Structure 1
Amino acid sequence: MKRSTLSRRILLAWLGSLGTPVLALQPLLAKNAPAGIDPKPYLVSEKLDGVRALWDGTTLRYRSGRVVAAPAWFLAALPKTPLDGELWMGRRRFDELSGAVRRAEPVDAEWRLVRFHVFELPAGEGTFEQRAGQLRALASDIVRPVEQQRFQSNAELRAKLKQVVDAGGEGLMLHRADAPVASGRSDLLLKLKPLADAEAVVIGHEAGKGRFAGQLGALELQTPDGVRFKLGTGFTDAQRRDPPAIGATVTYRYRDLTPSGKPRFASFIRVADEF
């Protein structure tokens, strides 16, 4: 059986289930784009610093599988078509958005500022370019299909990246225009940012010293490739007092990799699996 067919069957089984989806059955996740990438095979969109959400036609869930406590009016505005996208308030507003969507009891005034920016039809057919076209027909006040563009050279792509970052954006997403529906981390979807980011699992805590005595000094992390390293910057005082638990997956940014695969100048961003 072809991989794309298998991925689609897995996704359809998940979308049709009545219980909480199995965490291993993830949506498509991005890898970092190489600096000199040729953008011609891709559709390019802005990378939104929002909260990933998946709609199966009746229930809105985080990437983790937990249900999003969205207001009834927000859910009623979504189509019956399964969607994959990001809950977003706008550039540089992640903390505000995170606080709003994590509440057990949604606050209408906060949710009035949230839109569902969608970029995939998990049960769709055809190429990504075809599905992106189909998404445009679902546009509404709440549902906002993410704008996709073509670029003919790396120089054009870099100019767009600078424009987005200068305006307060995170970076760009490159999705193979010919890609089928797929799941898991894949070269079909790439992210391009001034600094790369990645995820790793917490395997230990190193105690702090000096002004951090009695708090977290650094997280001991392990990447999916088995590389172990320590992450000691980017934490708030609250996170040092109550650090991510052992076993949690965290997101960090870094400049490049050492010959042994360890990230250089790594800095904590957030817990990746809290949603």
Structure 2
Amino acid sequence: MQKTCVVLFLWLSQAVCAGGVALDPVVPPVVLAREATEDIDPAPYWVSEKLDGVRAIWDGRALRFRSGRPVHAPDWFVQALPAQAMDGELWLGRGRFAELSGLVRKQMPVDAEWRRVRYMIFELPDAPGDFSQRVSAMRALVASADVPWLGVVAQARVPNRAVLTAQLAEVLAAGGEGLMLHRADAPYLTGRSDALLKLKPWQDAEAIVTAHVPGQGRFVGMLGALEVRMADGRKFRIGTGLSDDERRAPPAIGAQISFRYRGLTATGLPRFASFWRVREPL
């Protein structure tokens, strides 16, 4: 008897075969940021802090990572969330990404750990109106839900570049990553566009580890550099930003890593690329 495969196309759902074989999760369409230029005029934007958290999308019934895989949060955490779709970051606080990443990836959630997590929303998928209207809607939604672990990312208007620069410096001094700028007049969009920009003292990107380059001198017997491949297929090496522990046990070949850099070379490769962290599959 031929097995019947039923695919549930609920937003952010997984395809599951009746024969018991789970297929890859459906990757949700989400809004993505581009890099802001140094001369950006912030007046048309709402400005917020860029939280160093784990992206999570709530479709009104299930909480999922950007990959489409389920977040194994405690029942009490998700059952208290409103039925409206929301997009945001699971967050512990500045400089605590590694701790958070380990916590939210556990198949069996630990209540005591999750009591410290907040779901900070910054978008309402497919909601009507421009972003200014959605900011008001998010604030009202969070206030109405009255859930201690549900918050809205603080948004503010910034009149000029001088004030923006001062705000960026303040966030960095406090241990933050940078700022996000979202056009006030933008409808809800998915993919990358100039409607959402990130402003940081560095740029970041992802690459796949393709080889381990042996170390020399002080690094004999350890990793010297990672050979990585970008999305366009070009390869280069990253030899800085790695701790001694990471050099002794480097990211596996095939792993996806994040790296930081400052602009591009004349050939279009990242300049001053430095290892940041392994992007764990979520």
The normalised TM-score by structure 1 is 0.86
What are the Cα deviations for residues 6-58 of structure 1, in whole angstroms up to 9, with x where unaligned? xxxxxxx66164546423x4412212111111111211100001111111112
Say if 1:40 and 1:21 are closer, same or farther in 2 by CA, change over 3 A: farther
- One-letter amino acid of the structure 1 residue matched with residue 278 of structure 2: V
Superposition pairs of residues 140-159 of structure 1, within 5 angstroms: 140-159=147-166
Say if 1:34 and 1:16 are closer, same or farther in 2 by CA, change over 3 A: closer
Aligned residue in 1 for 2:100: 97
Aligned residue in 2 for 1:59: 62
- One-letter amino acid of the structure 1 residue matched with residue 32 of structure 2: L
Greater RCO (Cα-Cα under 8 Å, separation 6 or more)? 1
Identify which range, 184-193 or 85-94, moves more after superposition.
Answer: 184-193
Cα contact 2:12–2:26 (8 A) shared by 1: no
For residue 231 of structure 1, the aligned residue among 214, 238, 251 is: 238
Equivalenced residue count is 262
Identify which range, 241-250 or 30-39, moves more after superposition.
Answer: 241-250
Whether 1:221 and 2:228 are equivalent positions in the alignment is yes
Q: Which has the larger radius of gyration?
A: 2
Say if 1:136 and 1:21 are closer, same or farther in 2 by CA, change over 3 A: farther
Q: Which consecutive residues of structure 2, in runs of 5 or more, have no partner in the other structure? A: 1-8, 16-23
Aligned residue in 1 for 2:194: 187
Q: Secondary structure of the equivalent of 1:92?
A: coil
Q: Secondary structure of the equivalent of 1:138?
A: helix
Aligned-CA RMSD value:
2.1
How many percent of aligned residue pairs carry the same amino acid? Answer: 57
Whole-Å separation in 1 of the counterparts to 2:40 and 2:66 = 28
Q: Secondary structure of the equivalent of 2:141?
A: coil
TM-superposed deviation, 1:235:
2.4
- One-letter amino acid of the structure 2 residue matched with residue 112 of structure 1: R
Whole-Å separation in 2 of the counterparts to 1:59 and 1:216 = 41
For residue 42 of structure 1, the aligned residue among 45, 69, 72 is: 45
Whole-Å separation in 2 of the counterparts to 1:49 and 1:147 = 14
Superposition pairs of residues 113-132 of structure 1, within 5 angstroms: 113-132=116-135
